[in-house]
Homo-oligomer: A and B are copies of this chain.
Amino acid sequence: MKDLRTLATISRRRRGQEIAAPGTGDECWHHIIFGAARRYIAWPDGQRRIIDFLLQGDFLAPIRDHYGIAIEAVVDGTIIASYSRQQVDHLAESDPHIGGKIREATLAAAARLERQILLLGRPTALEKVGSFLLDMADRSSIGHPDKIILPMSRYDIADYLALSVETVSRSLTILKRRGVITLIGGRRVSILDRNALDHYVH
């Protein structure tokens, strides 16, 4: 009996290095073993829209792509396991249990996209940033649930939330001044008042 692990191609990437070229996203499953990645579109006019951040442990399904979506590592030393879609399909057909796992992972990827839709639908910048922090706190489970380490830059966050960098920065400053969070060196965030944060988010 074959195993998923035998199909894996493990690779290691530096910060900013390409994981999948634009338009090739539907060829492979990816699994983030360590680090973080961003899935994005670069428009011809120079703008960039980040569709999805992939954190440690996340699976990415091979979603069909008409836009030229690319994937890049966010931090140095990001480790990715990639699986050819065809081989995974083949395996799923021979092993019903694995087929179920695959369906499960696909639904989880869809749930992540859905959260992102809710995030983008929030009316104000403060709500977007607040939701984003709560989301990151949930997902980047490193021991304490109120300590977040943001692996991505403010520019990344801005392109993810469809805001300008300045607005992201200002929103964080406002949350800090109101005593809702603390900021240590830009990338380390502590949630002091989760109630208040939840409240921004409805």
Residues of A within 8 A of B (CB): 41, 43-45, 47, 49, 51-52, 61-65, 67, 89, 92-94, 96-97, 99-100, 102-103, 106-111, 113-114, 116-118, 120-123, 162, 202
A102 to B107, CA, bound (A): 11
Residue with the greatest number of chain B CB neighbours at <10 A, chosen from A102, A109, A118, A121: A121
Q: Which residue of the partner chain B has the closest CB to A113? A: B113
Once the chains bind, are A116 and B117 in contact (CB under 8 Å)? yes
Q: In the A-B complex, list the 8 residue pairs whose CB atoms are closest, starting with the nearest.
A: A93-B96, A120-B120, A113-B113, A121-B162, A106-B106, A110-B110, A99-B99, A49-B121
CB pairs A–B below 8 angstroms (7 shown): A61-B107, A67-B118, A96-B99, A106-B106, A120-B120, A120-B121, A121-B162
Nearest opposing residue in chain B for A39, CB measure: B114
Closest to A43 in B: B202
Min Cβ gap A103→B in Å is 6
Contact between chains at B62 and A114 (CB < 8 Å) = no
A97 to nearest B CB, angstroms? 8
Q: Which residues in B have their C-beta under 8 angstroms from that of A47?
A: 202
Q: Are A111 and B63 in contact, with the CB atoms below 8 A?
A: yes
The complex places the Cα of A109 from the Cα of B117 at a distance, in Å, of 14
Give min CB distance, A156 to chain B, whole Å.
13
Q: A44-B202, A103-B106 are in contact. Are A117 and B118 (CB under 8 A)?
A: no
Chain B min CB distance to A46 (Å): 10
In whole angstroms, what is the CA distance A96 to B97 when docked?
11
Chain B residues within an 8 Å CB radius of A107: 61-64, 106
